[in-house]
């Protein structure tokens, strides 16, 4: 009897201990090639206390995860916390990384048991009796292939007056702390000069450093040889600068390894490197070249098909005032002011969103389906006006919809505004380099580059206004203008069709149908309004017109964008969807890769695909050279694609990059010819065989 009683008590004790252990851990969760658990350093926490949480990763043998700077490929482990209001959590306290050489790549990460610590603080006035910790973790685990993974965790903790440490998991947290590099309180600085990264670390002792790791991404060529030496009592480390470097932070973290020990130091950017306030080195020659390229890109924008419908409105205005030189100059400068104002607004928006960390880029306004639908409404209404169905009055002119039909300065100004809105997705050849330069510079420099782009776009109208010889080429006003005005409605209708197509690719056919019904309501509203203007309306026509207009707006508001970008039909699918993990996997396998960053609202992208990428010749070239074609769709916003564009100092699409084993990535021109792809592949193959 006593033995049975002791057995029962022993079982109860084991159950209590098991519950105690489980209360501070979610337990192991299995994912492909890795186990993950979320653990608390304390079983019971108290208000005002700081304690530790650990994301414990245990990949299978020979598999690894990644450091905060994964190196040439890979993706760092990320944790997105969901905690009660007032509870704060620190960034991940990273262990010292290991280097994984996969020629020609060098990656940084962790094999075996890895403990990522984060510090959590409860406010002193916390009143809850429990604390529910929620976390969404994502990682990339790699061997010869890479597999992304993610998992949601929930860890309930008790809150009491006195905290209680979890003795069972104490060794785990000691392991996590021991793996972290020791902070060196030493003065350190770095600079980028002549294509080389160098850092100087003051030290009183002869610290034997085996290797170093720069936490900032895209700063050094990770696979290139490191130089470590002592000069005048200071440690000097050097490594070639990354080819696609785009930002020099004010301060960077450098991890130094000395045998089994690791140290970390914070290095400040020297003024010599800091001339690039927010990115690449600033020089007067580069700045002037960027202004010239921007102006040239703006000039070319006038030839883009998405700009023509708006410019046709302006052409009518210029023809109307062909006999009045003063009026032509006033309208030309008003148009220029509208263009510059809109470019300034877009530049400031991009600069602000870049500073806030948003993943946006050039042409980002057409990533918003509601704005695409609103532009479709606007162009359709303008087309109906040119067709003579309705004549917009001064009230709508104030809202910008009278635009080119209004012959005053205000109409010219708003024509310039609308021209920029629809022109920006048409990234012309010289435009990409100038914009890539602008978004890596300080705000004033970036703004000047954008204004140069706008000035180039408005330049033809200024020349027409000030050159009598050019002005004489404009025909005299006459009855032909009304006929021309009606013909020019059709480019506006075609632009509406294009916008509807973009909308359908973004938000699906249901949303497209919704906006089409809205266009019918808009046409009904404008027809009723036009009859009222001609004195042919009936008593309730104005009220009914407003009902149809409000219904059109309501249908636009009800639009529901779908997640994800466009998918190509199976019969044309000679490409794979791009992802950082897939690109890293192919590079690790030493496979040739073509990356195409595109968007449905990018006219240049669509033309290139039709002319140069989706042809039988290009498909055969990809097959002949064993190239995997990856396509990234930026029709809707995507942080991964934005980061990839920034890597190559671009802030818009298209971007075409060829990866060939053993060679640096090759950026193709933004305007492709039918033979561009095959010629480039043949050149890369010959270069490799020549070695």
> Which of 332, 237, 316, 256 has the alpha carbon at shortest distance from 483?
316
Residues 369 and 561 sit within 8 Å (Cβ to Cβ): yes
Residue 372 located in a structural domain: no
pLDDT at 640: 82
Residue ending a domain, among 449, 482, 515, is: 482
CB atoms within 10 A of CB 393: 11
Tokens of 550: 């409000």
Q: How many residues does the chain have?
A: 691
Residues 172 and 25 sit within 8 Å (Cβ to Cβ): no
pLDDT at 288: 78
Task: Classify each residue of 561-577 as buried b or exposed e, where b means 16 or more C-beta atoms within 10 Å of its C-beta.
Answer: beeebeeeeeeeeebee
Residue 6 located in a structural domain: no
What's the gap between Cα 152 and its chain centre? Answer: 25
Which CATH number goes with the domain that contains 156? 2.60.40.1250
Residue 411 located in a structural domain: yes
Residue 253 and residue 295 share a domain: no
Backbone angles phi and psi of 247, in degrees to 5: -155, 130
Between vectors from CA 333 to CA 330 and to CA 339, what angle results, nearest 5°? 140
Distances (CA, A) of 606 to 306, 311, 561, 638, 673: 13, 22, 22, 19, 13
For residue 189, the enclosing domain spans 183-274
Residue 59 and residue 110 share a domain: yes
pLDDT at 171: 93
The set of long-range contacts for 502-505, using a CB threshold of 8 Å and a minimum separation of 24, is 502/366, 502/372, 502/600, 502/601, 502/635, 503/369, 503/372, 503/373, 503/376, 505/565, 505/566, 505/600, 505/635
Q: Is the peptide bond prior to 328 cis by the omega test (within 30 degrees of 0)? A: no
Which CATH number goes with the domain that contains 220? 2.60.40
Distance (Å, whole) CA 400 – CA 350: 23
DSSP code per residue over 88-142? EEPPPBPPPPEEEEETTEEEEEEESSEEEEEEEE--TT---SEEEEEEEEEEEEE
pLDDT at 405: 47
Tens digits of residue pLDDT in 128-167: 889 999 999 999 888 766 778 899 999 999 998 889 998 8
> Which of 303, 308, 335 has the alpha carbon at shortest distance from 490?
308
Residue 266 located in a structural domain: yes
Residue 319 and residue 247 share a domain: no
Residue ending a domain, among 482, 505, 526, is: 482
Tokens of 258: 């000395």
Residue 4 located in a structural domain: no
pLDDT at 440: 54
pLDDT at 2: 60
Distance (Å, whole) CA 533 – CA 90: 65
pLDDT at 564: 42
Tokens of 193: 């000069």
Residue 530 located in a structural domain: no
Residue 297 and residue 243 share a domain: no
Residue 167 and residue 188 share a domain: no
Residue ending a domain, among 180, 197, 224, is: 180
Residue 659 located in a structural domain: yes
pLDDT at 355: 57
pLDDT at 423: 58
pLDDT at 19: 40
Residue 434 and residue 357 share a domain: yes
Distance (Å, whole) CA 346 – CA 376: 20
Distance (Å, whole) CA 491 – CA 185: 66
pLDDT at 154: 94
Residue 198 and residue 156 share a domain: no
Tokens of 380: 């359709």
Q: Which segments of 173-210 are extended strands (E)?
A: 182-183, 188-193, 196-202
Give the three-state DSSP class for 293.
helix
Q: Which segments of 215-281 are extended strands (E)?
A: 227-231, 234-240, 251-258, 261-269
Residue 165 located in a structural domain: yes
Give the pTM: 0.44
Distance (Å, whole) CA 328 – CA 323: 8
Which CATH number goes with the domain that contains 610? 3.40.30.10
Residue 325 and residue 259 share a domain: no
Q: Is the peptide bond prior to 444 cis by the omega test (within 30 degrees of 0)? A: no
pLDDT at 368: 66
Residue 252 and residue 136 share a domain: no
| Domain count across the chain | 4
Residue 107 and residue 190 share a domain: no
Residue 237 and residue 343 share a domain: no
pLDDT mean by block of 10 residues, the chain; 691 residues:
53 44 78 94 92 95 92 86 92 94 82 95 90 92 79 92 90 94 88 84 76 89 87 84 73 90 90 40 64 77 57 58 69 84 79 56 59 78 77 42 53 74 51 55 76 84 75 59 70 78 72 83 84 74 82 77 45 77 89 87 71 86 90 76 78 83 85 84 75 51
Name 151's Cβ contacts closer than 8 Å, sequence gap at least 6: 29, 31, 36, 136, 137
Residue 107 and residue 50 share a domain: yes
CB atoms within 10 A of CB 152: 13
């Amino acid at each position: 009897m006593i033995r049975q009683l002791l057995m029962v008590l022993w079982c109860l004790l084991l159950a209590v201990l098991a519950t105690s252990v489980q209360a501070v851990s979610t337990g192991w969760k299995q994912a492909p090639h890795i186990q993950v658990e979320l653990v608390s350093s304390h079983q019971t926490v108290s208000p005002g206390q700081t304690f530790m949480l650990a994301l414990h990763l245990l990949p299978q043998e020979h598999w690894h995860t990644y450091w905060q700077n994964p190196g040439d490929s890979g993706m760092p482990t990320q944790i997105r916390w969901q905690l009660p209001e007032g509870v704060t959590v620190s960034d991940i306290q990273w262990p010292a990384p290991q280097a994984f050489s996969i020629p020609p790549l060098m990656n940084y990460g962790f094999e075996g048991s890895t403990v990522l610590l984060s510090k959590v603080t409860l406010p002193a006035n916390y009143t809850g009796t429990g604390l529910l910790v929620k976390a969404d973790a994502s990682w990339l685990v790699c061997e010869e292939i890479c597999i992304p993974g993610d998992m949601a965790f929930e860890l309930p903790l008790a809150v009491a007056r006195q905290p209680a440490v979890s003795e069972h998991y104490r060794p785990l947290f000691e392991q996590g702390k021991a793996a972290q590099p020791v902070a060196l309180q030493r003065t350190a600085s770095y600079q980028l000069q002549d294509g080389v990264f160098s850092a100087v670390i003051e030290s009183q002792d002869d610290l034997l450093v085996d290797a170093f790791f720069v936490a900032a991404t895209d700063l050094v060529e990770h696979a290139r040889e490191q130089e470590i030496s002592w000069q005048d009592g200071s440690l000097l480390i050097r490594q070639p600068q990354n080819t696609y470097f785009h930002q020099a932070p004010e301060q960077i973290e450098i991890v130094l390894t000395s045998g089994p020990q690791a140290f970390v130091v914070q290095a400040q950017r020297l003024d010599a490197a800091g001339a690039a306030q927010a990115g690449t080195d600033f020089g007067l020659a580069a700045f002037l070249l960027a202004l010239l390229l921007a102006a040239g890109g703006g000039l070319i924008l006038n030839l883009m098909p998405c700009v023509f419908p708006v410019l046709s409105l302006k052409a009518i205005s210029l023809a109307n005032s062909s006999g009045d030189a003063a009026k032509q100059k006033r309208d030309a400068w008003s148009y220029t002011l509208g263009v510059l104002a809109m470019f300034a607004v877009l530049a400031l928006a991009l600069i602000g969103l870049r500073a806030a960390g948003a993943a946006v880029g050039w042409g980002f306004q057409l990533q918003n389906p509601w704005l695409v639908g609103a532009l479709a409404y606007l162009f359709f209404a303008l087309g109906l006006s040119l067709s003579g169905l309705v004549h917009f009055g001064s009230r709508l002119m104030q809202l910008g919809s009278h635009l080119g039909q209004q012959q005053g300065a205000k109409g010219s100004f708003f024509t310039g505004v609308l021209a920029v809105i629809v022109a920006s997705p048409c990234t012309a050849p010289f435009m990409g380099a100038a914009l890539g330069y602008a978004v890596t510079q300080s705000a004033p420099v970036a703004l000047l580059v954008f204004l140069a782009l706008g000035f180039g776009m408005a330049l033809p109208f200024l020349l027409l206004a000030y050159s009598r010889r050019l002005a004489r080429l404009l025909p005299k006003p006459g009855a032909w203008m009304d006929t021309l005005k009606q013909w020019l409605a059709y480019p506006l209708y075609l632009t509406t069709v294009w916008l509807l197509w973009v909308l359908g690719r973004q938000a699906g056919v249901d949303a497209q149908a919704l906006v089409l019904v809205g266009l019918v309501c808009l046409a009904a509203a404008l027809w009723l309004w036009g009859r009222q203007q001609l004195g042919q309306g009936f008593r309730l026509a104005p009220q009914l017109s407003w009902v149809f207009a409000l219904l059109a707006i309501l249908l636009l508001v009800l639009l529901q964008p779908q997640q994800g970008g466009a998918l190509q039909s199976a019969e044309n699918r000679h490409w794979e969807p791009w992802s950082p993990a897939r690109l890293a996997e192919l590079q690790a396998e030493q496979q040739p890769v073509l990356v195409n960053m595109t968007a449905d609202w990018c006219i240049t992208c669509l033309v290139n695909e039709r002319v140069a990428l989706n042809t039988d010749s290009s498909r055969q070239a990809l097959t002949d050279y064993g190239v995997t074609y990856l396509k990234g769709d930026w029709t809707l916003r995507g942080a991964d694609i934005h980061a990839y564009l920034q890597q190559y100092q671009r802030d818009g699409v298209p971007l075409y990059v060829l990866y060939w084993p053993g060679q640096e990535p090759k950026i193709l021109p933004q305007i492709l010819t039918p033979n561009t792809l095959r010629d480039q592949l043949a050149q890369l193959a010959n270069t490799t065989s020549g070695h």
